[in-house]
Amino acid sequence: MLIGQKVDFSYKGAEYTGTFISSSDDAITVKLGSGYNITLNRDSFKVIKEYPPESMEKDSLTEINQECGEDGICILTTGGTIGSSVDYKTGAVKPVKDISYLYNFVNNIDQFKLYHENIENMLSENVDAGKWLTFARKARDAMKKGNSVIIFHGTDTMQYSASALSFMFEEQTEPVIFTGSQRSSDRPSSDAFLNIEGSIHFASMEMGEVGISMHTGTSDDSVSLYRGTRTRKMHTSSRNAFISIGEPCMAKYSNGKVSQESYIKKPSENIVLKDRLDENVGLIYFYPGMRGEDFYNLSYNKKAVIIMGTGLGHVSSGILAVIKKLSKETAFFMASQCIYGNVNMNVYSTGRDLLDAGVIPLGNMLAETAMVKAMYILGNYPDDLNKLMKTNMKGEIEEIVR
């Protein structure tokens, strides 16, 4: 039987008509006339009649993958929940081909010139430094034509990608806005529609930065723009999972209007993209009883390691010994597992010992951001690693660390 083929069958003595959907080793799924799918054991399902397969209706949605035009907003899709839909026949997740249905409900959508280019179709856990470079180069190409840029991205690692582009674009002429959704866009309740609406309005601002456009709260009444380097996904599933850590959001969108909430950098005259990243960087989460050899293996041969220490920035004395051993080859930086607040290694003796061993505290910088930043600095300014890590470049750190 072919997927979508009409079939008469019997089950436990009664006869039915349905559409074949799928089968596994044990079971067969058919769709009844009522629209319900039912799944039956293979051996209790008897085919009575197979109808000739209908000429499969052509997918009316032909793939739209235009190059970005000029002076509009270029939407780059990379996959993730927002740009995917379930193929109900096979159960596979496919990229949405025509994304216009995602934003056609936006009021006054005609006033925006929107282009769409699909550059990837991946779950965001599979995004890596190589992909950040691709995203950045595509964004640069779009900006060169006078477009601001919206990137549809899976939410899981959006904060890493946004940080990477924040650092790599030393100067930018247009805003680059990441957006995504926590509920897939094939659900009527999806947050995608409002998040995109917000991102379109944020992309129309005077702004030379990278931001993240996601729901402000659980209600469908406001979207916030968060700074790419200071944002974290703080909930596995809720709409308001994204939040700026320790600072207000950059702007809010509500009822068709954008309001600025904190400092936003103006656009530059030129684009400066530093598209080199050195991936030889580690991110280590310290835990009680962590074995020195495990820490050693994770850090060995790395150019830089970001430690997520406890509290104000601590690790056990056993780990301290390993750091001392490796600190000639590897630069160690300290961020906190607490997520909120500053690292301060002057309060307790452990902290002071770590400072003596050469560990550099990173203030209130998020550990994930720090890791991406280290890749960028090692790729472009390897000699200034220690100094630049402590310097505020893209709003990633409050400069209280001297």
Partner 1 sequence: MKIGLEIHFQLKGNKLFCSCSTEGTESGSAFQRKLTPVMGEMGMVDSAVKYENIRNREFLYRVSSNSCLVEKDEEPPHPVNTEALNTAIAISEALNCKILDYASFMRKIVIDGSNTSGFQRTGIIGMDGYIQTSGGPVRISTITLEEDACRKISEKHGRAEYSLDRLGIPLIEISTEPDIADPEHALETAKAIGHFVMSMNNFRGEVDSIRQDVNFSMGFGRVEIKGVSKLSFIKDTLDYEIKRQESLKEISDLFHGKPPEIGDFIDITDIFNNTGSSMIKKAITSGKSVMCARLPGCNHLMKYGNYRLGRELADVAKNMGIGGLMHSDEFPAYGLTGEELSQIYSAARKMDEDAVIVVIADRDSTESLSPLLKERMNKIIKLDLAETRAATTNGETRYLRPLAGKERMYPETDIPLIRITEDILENIKSMVPKSLDEIKKDLIKKYKLSSVEAESIINNNLLSLFMSLSDGFKNPSLLSRILLQVMPEFEKKRGTKLTQEEIRDILGVSISGGNIYRRDDGIKSIIGIARSRGWDRNTLELALSLYILNAIPVSELEKRPELVPLNEAEIRGIINELSEEGQLNEKNLIVMFRKKTDHSFDPRLVMRIFTEMKKSDKL
Q: So which residues are the catalytic ones?
A: 81, 155-156, 233
Among 51, 88, 285, 287, which residue sits at the site for partner 1 (rule: CB under 8 A)? 88
To which residue do tokens 């930086």 refer? 333
Pairing outcome for strands 27-32 and 231-233: unpaired
Decide: is 187 part of the binding site for partner 1 (CB under 8 A).
yes
Q: Which long-range contacts (CB under 8 A, 24 or more apart) does 126-133 make?
A: 127/78, 127/153, 127/154, 127/157, 127/160, 127/161, 128/279, 129/164, 129/277, 129/279, 129/375, 131/78, 131/161, 132/160, 132/161, 132/164, 132/165, 132/168, 132/277, 133/168, 133/275, 133/277
* 11 binding partner 1? (CB under 8 A): yes
Give the residue, chosen from 2, 44, 113, 381, that forms a contact with partner 1 under the rule CB under 8 A.
Answer: 44
Contact status: 86 vs partner 1 (CB under 8 A): yes
* Nearest distance, CB of residue 21 and partner 1, angstroms: 9
Rounded-to-integer distance, Cα 128 and Cα 45, Å = 46
Scanning residues 102 to 161, which ones bind partner 1 (CB under 8 A)?
105
Q: Contact between 14 and partner 1 (CB under 8 A)?
A: yes
CB of 169 to partner 1, least distance (A): 33
- Work out how close the CB of 371 gets to partner 1 at its nearest, in angstroms, rounded to a whole number: 29
* 194 in contact with partner 1 (CB under 8 A): yes
In the three-class reduction of DSSP (H, G, I as helix; E, B as strand; rest coil), residue 199 is classed as: helix
Site string for partner 1, 210-249 (x = CB under 8 A): -------xxxxx--------------xxxx----------
Q: Which is nearer to partner 1, 32 or 64 (CB)?
A: 32
User: How far is 169 from 122, CA to CA, in rounded Å?
Assistant: 23
Whole-number Cα distances in Å, 164 to 129, 168, 200? 8, 6, 21
Residue ranges binding partner 1 (CB under 8 A):
11-14, 16, 27, 29, 32-41, 44, 59-61, 86, 88-89, 91, 101, 105, 182-183, 185-190, 193-194, 217-221, 236-239
